[in-house]
Amino acid sequence: MYNFDYVRPSSVSDAAQALSNNTDASLVAGGHTLIPTLKQRLAQPSALIDISQLAELKGIRSDGGNIVIGAATTHAEVAGSADVKAAIPALAELANGIGDRQVRHRGTIGGSVANNDPSADYPAALLGLGASVVTNRGRYDADSFFTGLFSTALHPGEIITAVHFPIPDKAGYAKFEQRASRYCLVSVFVAQKSGGIFSSGETRVAVSGAGQNGVFRVAEMEQALQGNFSPSGVSGIKVSSANLMNDMHGAADYRAALITAMAERAVGAASA
Amino acid sequence: MTAQGIGAAVKRREDFRFIKGDGKYTDDINLPNQTYCYFLRSPVAHAAIRNIDISAAQSAPGVVAVFTGADVDASGAGGVPCGWLVTSRDGNPMKEPKHPILAVGKVRHVGDPVVAVIAETLEQARNASELVQMDLDELPAVVNMKSALQGGSSVHEEAADNLCFDWELGDQAATDAALAGAAHVTKLDLVNNRLIPNAMEPRVAIGQYAPGTEDYTLYTTSQNPHVIRLLMGAFVLSIPEHKLRVYAPDVGGGFGSKIYHYAEEALVTWASKHIRRPVKWTSDRSEAFMSDAHGRDHLSHVEMAFDADNRIIALKCETLANMGAYLSTFAPCIPTWLHGTLLAGQYVTPAIYTNVKAVFTNTVPVDAYRGAGRPEATYILERTISKAAQELGVDQAELRRKNFIQPNQFPYQTPVAVVYDTGDYEPALNKAMELADYAAFEQRRAEAKSRGKLRGIGVASYIEACGIAPSSLVGALGARAGLYEAATVRVNPTGSVSVLTGSHSHGQGHETTFAQVVADKLGIDIGNVDIVHGDTDKIPFGMGTYGSRSIAVGGSALVNALDKVIEKGKKIAAHLLEASADDIEFANGAYTVKGTDKSKAFGDIALTAYVPHQYPIETLEPGLEETAFYDPKNFTYPAGTYICEVEIDPQTGSTQIVSFSAADDFGNVINPMIVEGQVHGGVVQGVGQALMENAVYDDNGQLLTGSYMDYTMPRADDVPSFKVATLAGTPCTHNPLGVKGCGEAGAIGAPPAVINAIVDALKEYGIDHIDMPATPEKIWRAINAQPRMAAE
Ligand SMILES: Cc1cc2nc3c(=O)[nH]c(=O)nc-3n(C[C@H](O)[C@H](O)[C@H](O)COP(=O)(O)OP(=O)(O)OC[C@H]3O[C@@H](n4cnc5c(N)ncnc54)[C@H](O)[C@@H]3O)c2cc1C
């Protein structure tokens, strides 16, 4: 690890100020993605601005049809939240399946979403539920937020403050782990909601772990589920392997098959 | 059996300090004025070194010294030696190119150490290493063993064709004749996947030189400190042994990877004299992946011949064994004398022939890893016999039973050099079948099928050769060292006992089991026994711990030393009790005149030995301390049967081990709890090899699985609760405790049991083999490439 300054701001606006004062500074929340990178000397930030303790970024609340989760909320807090378990059990389950106990007690939703690792869990939930990402400067739909591998619509210096998840009628999540890292080799989040809060259609299917450009939706499955929300609705649908990742942990054709399998399971597991 | 003696499930005494964080590992040692070493390693697999410019690094903040291979060479230091010479079938010795401490002329694998940067802090050493300019001229990497042998790029000039040796064992003519006339021949190509050891504690080495006395100390994470002292002192640095102390304190696991003498140990010791300060190196996990010797990595073709009555009549096996870029300490003996000699397994096989070609590649050196040669041999044999059962349409357990060596055939001379002293294989097979409820398996298969799952059951009956071994035999086979073990029993004046043993504990629990042997023999409390190991300044010259040899060889030395103590005590007791020594008996901690109630406690005798006021001083020396060196007469041959049951999800190809049963004959057992723990650990490593672990290099020789993000270790939730039975068994006939050793059995028996179960589950698809590691993708691919055989 190279040397860096450590800054602990007292508010989001302080943090934003600190970021603009320090060229090459980086936010740190749980540190569970950033610190390993620093240890390997793959990054050399001038300063780390620690937002993990900011009260305005923490906590979970239910807010008229939405579950609002502060950016610095840990995976364990999401997994254990009575509000989340009651409103979107699939989201609590997803959080409970991230990494191990230590990771879940440090890693945060804001860090995960900002990082947009193509194998991470949360992006599937955000896209699958049609969530929105709120920052200190504005608000993004999940559909426009995740822009590619490890890249998002965030501008330099922009800080995620919360994620708003619309409460669906039903949602389900199924993850097939890459066995070494236990990140997603393929994971699928499905959600259905009547009333059309979702920007397109009432059923969403989002896939993480597999796409060459990160998390993506499967329109054909969404349409099929619209009429028949059951595992058989998606079992015949195969995603083309053309844009899927192809590496030693899983060839593209295998990942394509797993998308179908995980979609079936996510639908099967979907609960209100 | 007493509550603490031989056979008692005494809790591991050492765990008190380990659990509380009071263990003392090499990295816990910090010496005054210590410096830190960082090794700059080759980023490429194969290149000529054009130039190394260290000038900027030398003047970087905190830097004490920067060394290259040229500096080490100029000092006259030798290369890292190999401890075993294998002779090719044409009579030529193996190719043994020099293994420099720091690369000279060429780099030969990713991770090959090139420059040692020594500074006041590790960060400064690492910062300075980034200023080193390595000008490398990349050469084509030799990665694949088959193409390595076809010429092109050479890892070493001395072996242009990359062939290290071409070895054979057995009767080729008889084997070929039997194959030609066989009623059935089962053929199979097998991969023994390359594994990365991953001991919990990475390697550490601290070199210290004392200018006043010209003494060196090496603190290191070793399984065998005397072996390191011998190899490094005599062959690398020309340090006389009385001037070199090697100390391996608590060591956090080895699995073989800490047997070998490594370049880093030599460099820190060498450098400590140059800079006159201690030099410390601690491997990080990434370094461990690319510098600890790897395991396995064989490709084999096997043919097993049967007569019309389904009896095995011959076995032929051809193997390519990867040596990596340099010969590690015991590398050549693993695919040869620890592999070919096990190919008879538990079966009467009249003719066996094996040929092994060892190949240099631009990869990390490969050496012994838990089981060392025997897992590879067992996999070959046990996979093949289950495939044969499938082809012959007979039950895999019964085909084994039919071919077992019978109890009345022991001692049994195999056609592959070794003689099994004792054994009885059916009880283990029966016990494993009972634990696994083998009889009701087809019902469970049908039930699983109703849930859309594929169930399979796999049997593996392993044998291993442990307790390596008679020095005269291993010497004849090429070992450049003896393989006895030593123990000193030092009875202290107040009757407590310190045992100084050449065996080394790095997870095995010797501090408990060896103490149990002492408590049992001397009738004293286990709390009065201390087991001292790991420090060449304290212990007698011993060969250390590997090959499940500690209790069989080290424990035997201990028993012999204890017997000497008891005998000497008899003479002292005879004097005190005014009787003849022949009339003194020793039992339950007391010396008694036969047929009387006149007796003296062991503690009284100890005190008398050190306070010899009333003592037969003309005929007996004072003191009570005895040493024994024990050289075994033969290997020991633990054996057993493992049965694995799996359930496969055909949609994803993922395998769940639903049941695993192990029945082992380890001879006599000192501590059944520790033995069971060893079986558990070994089985998990075997499951790791069978299902997930795999070191992958790309075509350029880059290690793709260089971290836990990509290299899959088995975890607790990958395995079920095991059913383990340690049988009363057949005690070893040639060592005093009748023990055989249990440290590797699990890793030897588990891989074929798991793969046999998977293939059994998949047989309805016409699948007759799947390579390790049997990942979900591989299984999914096998299922989807084959037409379904059975109608749904
Ligand atoms: C062993 C291990 C296993 C893991 N397994 C999984 C897994 O199974 N699934 C999975 O999805 N993830 C997994 N992770 C990743 C884990 O969830 C991380 O914690 C998470 O991805 C990043 O969150 P963090 O709070 O630790 O972020 P940090 O490491 O602190 O930061 C990550 C990046 O996000 C930026 N950032 C952080 N917070 C904000 C914010 N509020 N606004 C803008 N930018 C911000 C930082 O500047 C940095 O660039 C694993 C991690 C480890 C170490």
pLDDT surpasses 70 at B228: yes
Q: What is the phi-psi region of residue A95: left when phi exceeds 0, alpha when psi lies from -120 to 50, beta otherwise?
A: alpha
Q: From B218, B410, B187, select the one nearest B300 (Cα to Cα).
A: B187
- Cross-chain residue pair A181–B781, CB shorter than 8 Å: no
Residue nearest ligand 1's atom 39 by CA: A111
Kindly give, in sequence order, each residue whose CB lies less than 8 Å from that of residue A247, ignoring residues fewer than 6 positions away.
none
- Cross-chain residue pair A179–B696, CB shorter than 8 Å: no
Which stretches of B244-341 are DSSP H helices?
A: 263-275, 285-291
- Cross-chain residue pair A249–B710, CB shorter than 8 Å: yes
Locate the ligand 1 atom nearest the alpha carbon of residue A28 and give its number: 30
pLDDT of residue B220: 98
Q: Out of B286, B696, B781, whose CB is closest to A248?
A: B696
pLDDT tens digits, one per residue of B578-618:
999 999 999 999 999 999 999 999 999 999 999 999 999 99
The sheet carrying A170-177 orders its strands as A170-177, A184-192, A203-208, A216-217
- Cross-chain residue pair B704–A248, CB shorter than 8 Å: yes
Mutation target to probe the B interface, by most B beta carbons within 10 A, among A179, A186, A187, A245 is A179
pLDDT of residue B789: 40
Nearest residue of A to residue B650 by CA position?
Answer: A261
Please tell me the distance between residue A120's alpha carbon and the centre of ligand 1 in angstroms: 9
**Block residue for tokens 């230091």:** B77
With beta carbons under 8 A apart, name residues in chain B contacting A177.
Answer: none
With beta carbons under 8 A apart, name residues in chain A contacting B654.
Answer: 176
With beta carbons under 8 A apart, name residues in chain B contacting A249.
Answer: 710
- Cross-chain residue pair A251–B777, CB shorter than 8 Å: yes
Taking the CB of residue B116, how many other CB atoms lie within 10 A of it? 28
Rounded Cα gap, residues B36 and B281, in angstroms = 6
pLDDT of residue A272: 66
With beta carbons under 8 A apart, name residues in chain B contacting A258.
Answer: 652
- Cross-chain residue pair B286–A179, CB shorter than 8 Å: no
Looking at residues B15-33, what average pLDDT do you find? 97
pLDDT band at A112 (very low <50, low <70, confident <90, very high): very high
Q: From B299, B304, B301, B455, select the one nearest B388 (Cα to Cα).
A: B304
CB A266 within 8 A of CB A168: no
Q: Which amino acid type is present at position B658?
A: V
CB B113 within 8 A of CB B41: yes
pLDDT surpasses 90 at B207: yes
- Cross-chain residue pair A180–B708, CB shorter than 8 Å: yes
H or E element: which one contains B17?
helix B15-19
Question: For residue B478, what are its two tokens?
Answer: 């090429």
With beta carbons under 8 A apart, name residues in chain A contacting B286.
Answer: 40
Mutation target to probe the A interface, by most A beta carbons within 10 A, among B709, B717, B779, B781 is B709
pLDDT of residue B788: 35
* Signed CA dihedral, B780, B782, B788, B789: sign only: negative
With beta carbons under 8 A apart, name residues in chain B contacting A176.
Answer: 652, 654, 776
pLDDT surpasses 80 at B792: no
Q: From B746, B627, B669, B726, select the one nearest B513 (Cα to Cα).
A: B669
pLDDT of residue A198: 54
pLDDT tens digits, one per residue of B725-782:
999 999 999 999 999 999 999 999 999 999 999 999 999 999 999 999 999 999 999 9
Eight-state DSSP code of residue A244: B
DSSP per-residue codes, B40-108:
EE-SSSSEEEEEEE-HHHHTSTTEEEEEEHHHHHHTT------SB--B-TTSPBPP-----SS--SEE-
- Cross-chain residue pair A261–B651, CB shorter than 8 Å: yes
CB B326 within 8 A of CB B101: no
CB B595 within 8 A of CB B623: no
Q: From B336, B406, B411, select the one nearest B368 (Cα to Cα).
A: B336
H or E element: which one contains B610?
helix B602-610
Nearest residue of A to residue B655 by CA position?
Answer: A179
pLDDT of residue B357: 98
Nearest residue of B to residue A176 by CA position?
Answer: B652
pLDDT surpasses 90 at B531: yes
Question: For residue B246, what are its two tokens?
Answer: 């090697």
DSSP per-residue codes, B743-774:
SSHHHHHHHHHHHHHHHHHHGGGT----PSS-
- Cross-chain residue pair B775–A179, CB shorter than 8 Å: yes
Rounded Cα gap, residues A176 and B196, in angstroms = 25
- Cross-chain residue pair A181–B710, CB shorter than 8 Å: yes
pLDDT surpasses 60 at A202: yes
Rounded Cα gap, residues B510 and B533, in angstroms = 9
**Block residue for tokens 């006599």:** B668
Residue nearest ligand 1's atom 44 by CA: A114
Q: Does B711 touch chain A (CB under 8 A)?
A: yes
Which stretches of B250-373 are DSSP H helices?
A: 263-275, 285-291
pLDDT band at B548 (very low <50, low <70, confident <90, very high): confident
pLDDT of residue B2: 63
pLDDT of residue B577: 96
Q: DSSP strand E in B551-694: where? A: 584-587, 590-593, 599-601, 625-630, 639-649, 654-665
**Block residue for tokens 């690398």:** B236
Nearest residue of A to residue B704 by CA position?
Answer: A248
Rounded Cα gap, residues B412 and B414, in angstroms = 6
Q: Tell me how many helices (H) and strands (E) chain A has.
A: 12, 14
Vertex B772 angle, CA B769 and B778, to 5°? 70
Rounded Cα gap, residues B712 and B90, in angstroms = 41
Please tell me the distance between residue A31's alpha carbon and the centre of ligand 1 in angstroms: 6
pLDDT of residue A172: 98
Residue nearest ligand 1's atom 21 by CA: A112
The sheet carrying B723-726 orders its strands as B454-463, B639-649, B654-665, B723-726
Q: Which amino acid type is present at position B787?
A: P
Q: Name every protein residue with a CB atom under 6 angstroms from any ligand 1 atom.
A: A 26-34, 51, 71, 98-99, 103, 106-108, 110-112, 114-115, 120-122, 159-160, 182-183
With beta carbons under 8 A apart, name residues in chain B contacting A179.
Answer: 692, 712, 775-776
- Cross-chain residue pair A180–B713, CB shorter than 8 Å: yes
Please tell me the distance between residue A199's alpha carbon and the centre of ligand 1 in angstroms: 27
pLDDT tens digits, one per residue of B141-193:
999 999 999 988 999 999 999 999 999 999 999 999 999 999 999 999 999 99
Q: DSSP strand E in B378-513: where? A: 412-413, 419-420, 454-463, 485-491, 497-501
pTM: 0.96
Q: What is the mean pLDDT of chain A?
A: 95
pLDDT surpasses 80 at B790: no
pLDDT surpasses 90 at A120: yes
pLDDT band at B3 (very low <50, low <70, confident <90, very high): confident
- Between chain A and chain B, the number of residue pairs with CB atoms below 8 A apart is 38
Looking at residues B455-470, what average pLDDT do you find? 93
Q: What is the mean pLDDT of chain B?
A: 96
Q: Out of A40, A180, A254, whose CB is closest to B777?
A: A254
The fraction of chain B above a pLDDT of 90, given in percent, is 96
**Block residue for tokens 């099929």:** A224
Question: For residue B604, what are its two tokens?
Answer: 């009284």
Nearest residue of B to residue A264 by CA position?
Answer: B651
Kindly give, in sequence order, each residue whose CB lies less than 8 Å from that of residue A138, ignoring residues fewer than 6 positions away.
none
Q: From B771, B457, B773, B772, select the one nearest B644 (Cα to Cα).
A: B457
Kindly give, in sequence order, each residue whose CB lies less than 8 Å from that of residue B445, ignoring residues fewer than 6 positions away.
B455, B456, B457
**Block residue for tokens 């001395």:** B158
Residue B704 DSSP SS3: coil
pLDDT surpasses 60 at B787: no
Looking at residues B530-544, what average pLDDT do you find? 95
Please tell me the distance between residue A29's alpha carbon and the centre of ligand 1 in angstroms: 8
Taking the CB of residue B39, how many other CB atoms lie within 10 A of it? 22
The fraction of chain A above a pLDDT of 70, given in percent, is 97
With beta carbons under 8 A apart, name residues in chain B contacting A181.
Answer: 708-710
Q: Does B16 touch chain A (CB under 8 A)?
A: no
pLDDT of residue A196: 56
